[in-house]
Chains A and B, each alone.
Chain A
Amino acid sequence: MTPAHASPRLGDTSPGSPRPVSGDPTTARPVLDTADVGRAVTRIAHEIVERNHGADQIVLLGIPTRGVTLARRLVTRIAAVEGTTVPSGSVDVTLYRDDLRLRGVRPLEETDLPPDGIDGRVVVLVDDVLFSGRTVRAALDALSEFGRPRAVQLAVLVDRGHRELPIRADYVGKNIPTSLRETVHVLLTETDGRDGVLLGPADVGRAPAGTEEAR
């Protein structure tokens, strides 16, 4: 997740209701447009199927909020290619974060696992932005308590660099080199009304990214 939606508001989860984008949108520069996002998701879907020799063993788990949306889109794309609907769900990592004590308490998001669980499957974690890697670490901790997957892979729409942990993505929509002071805003139709990725200047009043914001 980007700083743009680091404080999801409760009750603001209805599809299509745009979440506020922090920073000044007029100075945020588009780096991916609607068609680019669509192509990236389609390519990742193909890569997932190719790498795993089919879709039989795969479970897609999105990290709220936009990771869940992306996971749903990947399910649709994989179904179009392979003809099978892979199980999917969501993993809220809030309770496993290492930065809980750095700020006020965070509301929880939904955790929704497929009925057959994740034991012995290949779990593909899906998130919008890969940044410090701390969210993914929290997700790996969460997964270990839900079961024992055969393997865990990671798919992200944007890799913006600045890793603080030895974590890398298996599937990347777009590598975007950024400075720590910049913000990456991923927009998806379901939550923001349109698709796109914006690169903006640092939010006014925020600590430099990577200190306060652990994603």
Chain B
Amino acid sequence: MNRHLLSAADLSRDDALLVLDTAEEMAQVADRPIKKLPTLRGRTVVNLFFEDSTRTRTSFELAAKRLSADVINFSAKGSSVSKGESLKDTALTLEAMGADAVVVRHWASGAPHRLAHWIRGSVLNAGDGTHEHPTQALLDAFTMRQRLGRLEGLNVGIVGDVLHSRVARSNVLLLHTLGADVTVVAPPTLLPVGVDAWPCAVSFDLDGVLPKCDVVMMLRVQRERMHGGFFPTTREYSRRYGLDARRLAMLPDDAIVMHPGPMNRGVEIAAEVADGVRSTIVEQVANGVSVRMAVLYLLLGGDLSAGSEDVA
């Protein structure tokens, strides 16, 4: 593995499988009376969040703490960033405090890449703008493998606001690496420019795609990023691209429904679907901790100066 985790595209097939296999061992810790490993004692992990987040930040925090790392949470609100401090100055401050890893979420696509040039520690991208969210893609792949037993040859539909979704991009890249067949489904206005170059199929017709999906992943309609008319009304969006009970019935019997959260119930996913037996939404959150423990271990667990040449 590289020293940083910036993009799902940086992971080779072997790297990605190593993360998933490691996460499987890490998952056992959650079942023990003492949910703690001594592995990262003395390492410092900084959570640097320039955007609001509940699950990703707490998930990274819990993962680091279960591995006994020291965790510093730093959010833009209430920090010197609100006094006008630049990303670089913030980074150099954290560097001076001896951070071994910086988990960064930023509203600007590419911010983690910049950060990686400025600091010596590892940088983990926890979501940058509309670009990437690699640990989400890893936990989604982990959940699919856990539920369906394989990734190779799975048909995965990723549905909704692909344009604003870092989850969609990371998932398409990672699932392609792992041998799944991905179809993104969205209204033309919610597809990014250049989607033809992605390693996936593109469709505008959800009803046509559902019958052959092993996995359907619903994306949140990101209203906070929408500054224009991408669809006429929420109701029309929901009627054409929302997953309700009628559409759920079109899926093959063992297919699963995923959502990266937070959900807009009644918009992209109906409440009865979100809470149904096929939904993996709660598992995804639990798996997020295991997968992030695996990533932190693989980046910080060895000799930081020598790199990790022992990893296949």
User: Cβ of A106 and Cβ of B302 under 8 Å apart?
Assistant: yes
- Return A144 CB to nearest CB of chain B, in Å: 8
User: Cβ of A104 and Cβ of B38 under 8 Å apart?
Assistant: no
Q: Which of B269-312 contact A (CB under 8 A)?
A: 297-299, 301-304, 306-312
Q: How many angstroms between the C-alpha atoms of A10 and B309 in the bound complex?
A: 14
Identify B298's interface contact among A9, A11, A102, A105, CB under 8 A.
A105
User: Cβ of B302 and Cβ of A111 under 8 Å apart?
Assistant: no
Given A10-B14, A96-B38, A104-B308: A110 touches B298 (CB 8 Å cut-off): no
Identify B308's interface contact among A105, A111, A141, A146, CB under 8 A.
A105
Mark interface residues in A65-86 (1 if CB within 8 Å of B CB, else 0): 0000000000000000000000
User: Cβ of A104 and Cβ of B306 under 8 Å apart?
Assistant: yes
User: Cβ of B25 and Cβ of A141 under 8 Å apart?
Assistant: no
Say yes or no: is B147 at the interface (Cβ < 8 Å to chain A).
no
Given A95-B297, A100-B39, A111-B25: A106 touches B310 (CB 8 Å cut-off): yes
Cβ contacts under 8 Å, A95 to chain B = 37-39, 297, 301
Q: How many angstroms between the C-alpha atoms of A147 and B169 in the bound complex?
A: 43
Cβ contacts under 8 Å, B36 to chain A = 145
Mark interface residues in B16-37 (1 if CB within 8 Å of A CB, else 0): 0110011001001000111011
Mark interface residues in A107-137 (1 if CB within 8 Å of B CB, else 0): 1111100000000000000000000000000
User: Cβ of B28 and Cβ of A111 under 8 Å apart?
Assistant: yes
Say yes or no: is A27 at the interface (Cβ < 8 Å to chain B).
no
User: Cβ of B32 and Cβ of A107 under 8 Å apart?
Assistant: no
Say yes or no: is A53 at the interface (Cβ < 8 Å to chain B).
no
Cβ contacts under 8 Å, A104 to chain B = 302-303, 306-311
- Return A89 CB to nearest CB of chain B, in Å: 12
Q: How many angstroms between the C-alpha atoms of A20 and B21 in the bound complex?
A: 22
- Return A148 CB to nearest CB of chain B, in Å: 10
Say yes or no: is A159 at the interface (Cβ < 8 Å to chain B).
no
User: Cβ of A106 and Cβ of B301 under 8 Å apart?
Assistant: yes
Say yes or no: is A103 at the interface (Cβ < 8 Å to chain B).
yes
Cβ contacts under 8 Å, A9 to chain B = 312
Q: Which of B27-85 contact A (CB under 8 A)?
A: 28, 32-34, 36-39
Given A100-B302, A141-B38: A105 touches B21 (CB 8 Å cut-off): no
- Return A19 CB to nearest CB of chain B, in Å: 14
**Nearest opposing residue in chain B for A9, CB measure:** B312
**Nearest opposing residue in chain A for B299, CB measure:** A105
User: Cβ of A101 and Cβ of B25 under 8 Å apart?
Assistant: no
Q: How many angstroms between the C-alpha atoms of A161 and B306 in the bound complex?
A: 30
User: Cβ of A100 and Cβ of B18 under 8 Å apart?
Assistant: no
Cβ contacts under 8 Å, A141 to chain B = 38
Q: How many angstroms between the C-alpha atoms of A147 and B37 in the bound complex?
A: 14
- Return A6 CB to nearest CB of chain B, in Å: 9
- Return A141 CB to nearest CB of chain B, in Å: 7
**Nearest opposing residue in chain B for A12, CB measure:** B312
User: Cβ of B37 and Cβ of A105 under 8 Å apart?
Assistant: no
Cβ contacts under 8 Å, A146 to chain B = 32
**Nearest opposing residue in chain A for B301, CB measure:** A105
User: Cβ of B311 and Cβ of A92 under 8 Å apart?
Assistant: no
The 8 A-B pairs of least Cβ separation, nearest first, read: A105-B302, A104-B310, A104-B308, A108-B25, A95-B39, A104-B302, A105-B301, A145-B34
Residues of A within 8 A of B (CB): 7, 9-11, 92, 95-96, 100-111, 141, 145-147
Sampled A-B contacts (27; CB under 8 Å): A9-B312, A10-B17, A10-B21, A10-B312, A95-B39, A96-B38, A100-B39, A100-B301, A100-B302, A103-B302, A103-B310, A104-B302, A104-B306, A104-B308, A104-B309, A105-B302, A105-B308, A106-B301, A106-B310, A107-B18, A107-B21, A111-B25, A111-B28, A141-B38, A145-B32, A145-B37, A146-B32
